[in-house]
Amino acid sequence: MKWLSGKAQDEFSNAVSLLSRACEAFGISLTAAQVEQFGAFLEALLSWSERMSLTSILEPMRIVIEHFVDSIAPVAFGLLKEGACVVDVGTGAGFPGIPLAILLPGSLVSLVDASRKKCAYLNSIKEHLGLENIEILCGRSEELAHKESYREAYDVAVARALGRLDVVLECCMPFVRVGGCTIAYKGPKFVEEMEFGKKTARELGGRITNVIEFILPTTDIRRALIVVEKVEQTPQRYPRRAGVPQKHPLGKILK
């Protein structure tokens, strides 16, 4: 961390300590190796953020809570377990996929992003942290989900800050096998999206089975996890071609 000033190094160290305490408040005990990996990820994220736009949050303490701890919430609530095959759609800076991969070393986590620059960053993080359980899929989710290797191949799809719930479901659900689920990370205004989400879930072969509301440890930030179970295969016409789910969300089209 030679590139950090003395004050910044202190803030970095405090953030890593905060991570362990916040995880314990979530009922999760990190191993020493996991704490080291999270610390290395934080350091690399801060360094890369000087060269490219990855996150609007640049304070180490906030990154730890609002990105790292928020990302692992499905594990804290028993929605994700060791050994699950996970796809993170629209991962961006690696959230929630990289924290989940650190916490669940026995799970394969595929990170999907359309940006070549971000995929180069993700590959660098993978190598830097020694995360052999991660694979990077560089491409549009709307196209990858139609490939035999990825369609209905995952136990769980996760998405964070990807868009409105109906958009998230169209981009995620085709990746999930019947019996699996999609987990959408949402803020406190998720209720406004639920009606669109319910219609879209039905159309894609799923149903909303759980909504977990919580407050991030050490903060007053309200968050929610929306769980959509896959009960039947998604029709082959979905997802629609790249860009269409965002421009013409299913929730507004379906009756």
Look at the domain 71-253 and name its fold: Rossmann fold (3.40.50)
In whole angstroms, how far apart are CA 162 and each of 11, 92, 112, 150, 183? 30, 9, 12, 19, 12
| Helices first, then strands: H and E counts in the chain | 12, 7
For the chain, how big is the Rg over CA atoms in Å? 18
List the end-to-end C-alpha distance of the chain, in Å, as a whole number: 55
| pLDDT exceeds 80 at position 3 | no
pLDDT tens, 118-134? 999 999 999 999 999 99
In whole angstroms, how far apart are CA 216 and each of 113, 128, 157, 164? 26, 28, 22, 21
Domain boundaries, given as residue ranges, for the chain = 71-253
Q: Are 88 and 99 in contact (CB under 8 A)?
A: no
pTM for the structure as a whole? 0.95
The model's confidence at residue 2, banded by pLDDT at 50, 70 and 90, is: very low
Q: Are 224 and 186 in contact (CB under 8 A)?
A: yes
Could you give the CA distance from residue 26 to residue 143 in angstroms, rounded to a whole number?
A: 36
Percent of the chain with pLDDT over 90: 93
pLDDT tens, 220-249? 999 999 999 999 999 999 999 999 999 999
